[in-house]
């Protein structure tokens, strides 16, 4: 497959920004594609993960930020488990998502960014996920109030999710992580 690369329009290399934000050495990748052959979602996305790395290595610009793998990646870490060079792609995808949002280049699939933001809000608030809060934020964001409403009694009767949130004993640490992430975003 031919990979066409455009120069980054910001003047700052996208690769350098991703490396700085993720802390991952992308130059170690030698394109064995073990990550791609095991990737849970690459069959449903524009590109496999190895291609994302190759594009970054070759100096891809902001056009890479529109690639839907950035949003379909489910952070399953299968690629990391398979990579002979120990390259963890989850922080790379996280960095690409953050940059895409920052540069208003995100072309997200469906409601993934909304779900992502609702999830992070609950973690920031309670130090861990709060399923009911996440569901409420997602439903408000999508105005899909009646969708799956019939399942709610079953979910509660089977105690699949808690009615009330529980706070993490490390809430201060989690809030500090969010604060550092916010500061780094501005750099
Ligand atoms: S498995 Fe690792 S070395 Fe192989 S292509 Fe993927 S990231 Fe690169
Ligand atoms: S973490 Fe993302 S890129 Fe890696 S295998 Fe899972 S879905 Fe694919």
Domain boundaries defined on the chain: 14-102, 112-185
Which numbered ligand comes closest to the C-alpha of 49? 2
For the question of whether the overall pTM of this predicted structure is more than 0.75, the answer is no
Ligand 1 atom 1: residue of nearest CA = 83
CA 128 – CA 169 distance, rounded (Å) = 10
Evaluate: CB of 78 within 6 angstroms of ligand 2.
yes
- pLDDT of 34-59, one tens digit each? 999 999 898 888 899 999 999 999 98
Q: Which of 4-8, 11-15, 70-74 has the highest mean pLDDT?
A: 70-74
Q: Are 34 and 84 in contact (CB under 8 A)?
A: yes
Domain 14-102 falls under CATH 1.10.1060.10: yes
């Amino acid at each position: 497959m031919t990979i066409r690369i455009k120069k980054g329009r910001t003047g700052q290399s996208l690769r350098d920004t991703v490396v700085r934000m993720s802390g991952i050495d992308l130059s170690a990748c030698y394109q064995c594609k073990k990550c791609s052959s095991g990737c849970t979602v690459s069959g449903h996305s524009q590109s496999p993960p190895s291609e994302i790395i190759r594009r970054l290595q070759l100096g891809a610009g902001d056009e890479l930020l529109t690639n839907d793998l950035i949003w379909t990646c489910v952070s399953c870490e299968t690629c990391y488990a398979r990579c002979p060079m120990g390259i963890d792609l989850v922080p790379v995808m996280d960095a690409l998502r953050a940059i895409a949002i920052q540069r208003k280049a995100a072309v997200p699939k469906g409601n993934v960014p909304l779900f992502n933001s609702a999830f992070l809000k609950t973690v920031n608030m309670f130090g861990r996920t709060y399923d009911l809060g996440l569901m409420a934020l997602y439903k408000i964001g999508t105005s899909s109030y009646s969708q799956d409403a019939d399942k709610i009694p079953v979910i509660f009767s089977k105690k699949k999710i808690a009615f009330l949130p529980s706070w993490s004993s490390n809430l201060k640490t989690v809030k500090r992580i969010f604060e550092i992430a916010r500061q780094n975003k501005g750099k």
